[in-house]
Amino acid sequence: MQTGAARGQRRALHGILSVIALFNLWMTWGMFSSPEARFVKLGAFGLTQLMTEGAFPGTAHVPRLNQLSADGHKTLVVGDARRFYLDAGADYCVVFNNNPFAAAAADLPPADLIRWLREHHYAFVYVDWGEMKRLRNSRYRFWSSLTVELFEQLIEAGFRPVESFKWKPEAESAYGTLFAVPIDRDASRAVKSQWRRTEVLTLRPSSPH
């Protein structure tokens, strides 16, 4: 049989838990009741628009890739597997799965790899240098055939860097680069003659810090 003191303690505990539950409910309502409150308290959590518009650090490439998809272009995404905010038309592989592009890169010379991309209807390739570096240095690892050197060779064979994306405007190098896949050999030769190797070397990975 419970004593009066024990019953009092239980009532006090129930009261405290009720107050905590009500406080959490009030906080949750405040977080989601207006865009300003959500941003201040939760940062980017739940704010899809921040990501799709490229306003959140490291997402500047998202609206560009989505626009390419809307225009009917197919893009291969290398490195970044966080495609929650990318529309259909952007293909990717996670490090736990087979990667047909990585397998092709291991077996084919650059010119044939470009042909492989065209045969698979890819008009663009987006490379996330930061994620490549992070994964390669993690316990998950990254495909050994997909390296900065590979993309330097692809540029020599005709790949054209069309846009770079930085964590912040003053950053010296890009966290990601969008490449256009040349349509034919003539286009490849034209691009090769216009792009200098000194410019290729600026595509080295950068970090957000």
- Cα separations (Å) of 150 from 34, 72, 208? 47, 27, 23
Residue 186: predicted pLDDT: 47
Coil vs helix vs strand at 65: helix
What token pair was written down for 57? Answer: 């650090």
Q: What is the pLDDT of residues 119-155, one digit of tens each?
A: 999 999 999 998 999 999 988 889 999 999 999 999 9
Q: Where are the alpha helices (DSSP H) in the chain?
A: 4-32, 35-42, 48-52, 61-70, 100-107, 110-119, 129-136, 148-157, 185-194, 197-200
Residue 10: predicted pLDDT: 74
Nearest-angstrom CA–CA distance, 150 and 200: 11
| pTM for the structure as a whole | 0.68
Q: Is the pLDDT of residue 101 over 80?
A: yes
- Cα separations (Å) of 178 from 4, 17, 24? 72, 53, 44
In this structure, are residues 176 and 61 in contact, taking their beta carbons and an 8 Å threshold? yes
